[in-house]
Amino acid sequence: MKKILLSVCLFLLIVCYVDGQDTNLEKADSLYKCGKHFEASVWYERGLFEGETSPEICMQAVKGKINCLKLQRKFAEELDFIIRSRNLDIPDSFRQHLAYDELLANYLSGRFVNTIEDAKNLDRGLFSFEERKTAKLITILSYNELCRWNQADSAYKEYLATYLNNAVSKEQLGLYLKKPTLKSEYRARLLSNLFPGLGQVYAGKSVEGITNLLLQLGTLWFSAGAWQEGYHLTSLLIGGSSFSAFRSGGKRRAVNLIKKENAKNIDKYNDYLRKQLLLSYTLKTL
């Protein structure tokens, strides 16, 4: 009799547990359909880590959680979750899908070096034609973001030959022939040291450069005049400190102008590259 009661209790516990797992996923799916992606992601993870689960339940919960994080644009959090999910009991086919999602999450979270390494591993895996093509495109985009345009050019030529049979426009073939000319921060700093205001002139701000030159000359004139009148302490403290402030400020300003201008040119060029690359991706040649 005791054995029968024990068996019945064990059976009821198993049934309740399975029902609880299904309830977690059903609740998560319901919230997801209502657009409550944060709440849904919590229920998906709750279904994952409340005891043992089957590979199918794991796969559904992981997939749901990833979709929720994507829709919330929490790409760094998505990446961390994918890495944690590697140790779960999931089918091998879905594990490959996770590797592809990890590549995308790395790129969207701004981890471009990791993206390039992931793409190399993805190329060696058993992935579909479209996934390999997308991985190559994301590799090129990552090189662009890192301003490694020579490597991007090599990867782009390989991409054209492998996936597009070079069937693109002349503009797209010469995509990397118009790299932006970037100015040197070191040169701006050096010019500012050699002659006041020259760094700002090099950065394209002639008026600022001349103004900085006049300010430095003015403080030197004031310092020299105060010294001749016998106000030695005033000459050193006020004149000298003002000259030093304008001089160091001019150098910092020149470098910041170069950084700002270079960033503007890089963004403009990378935006052009991005549009052309996405345009080439839509071509169907194979």
State the chain's mean pLDDT as an integer. Answer: 81
Within 8 A by CB and 6+ apart from 67, the residues are 32
Output 251 or 230, whichever has higher pLDDT. 251
Q: Note whether 139 and 155 are within 8 A (CB).
A: yes
- Specify the pLDDT at position 66: 93
pLDDT digits (tens, 9 = 90+) for 123-138: 665 577 888 888 899 9
- Indicate if the pLDDT at residue 30 is higher than 60: yes
37 vs 285: CA distance, rounded Å: 38
pLDDT digits (tens, 9 = 90+) for 256-280: 999 999 999 999 999 999 988 888 7
Q: What is the pTM of this model?
A: 0.75
Write down the H helix ranges in 146-184. Answer: 149-159, 170-173
Within 8 A by CB and 6+ apart from 208, the residues are 197, 200, 253, 257
7 vs 104: CA distance, rounded Å: 48
Q: Note whether 106 and 79 are within 8 A (CB).
A: yes
Write down the H helix ranges in 72-111. Answer: 75-84, 92-108
Output 142 or 25, whichever has higher pLDDT. 142
> What is the average per-residue pLDDT within 43-47?
85
pLDDT digits (tens, 9 = 90+) for 166-222: 667 777 778 888 888 899 999 998 888 888 888 889 988 888 888 887 887 777 777
Per-residue pLDDT band for 52 (boundaries 50, 70, 90) equals low
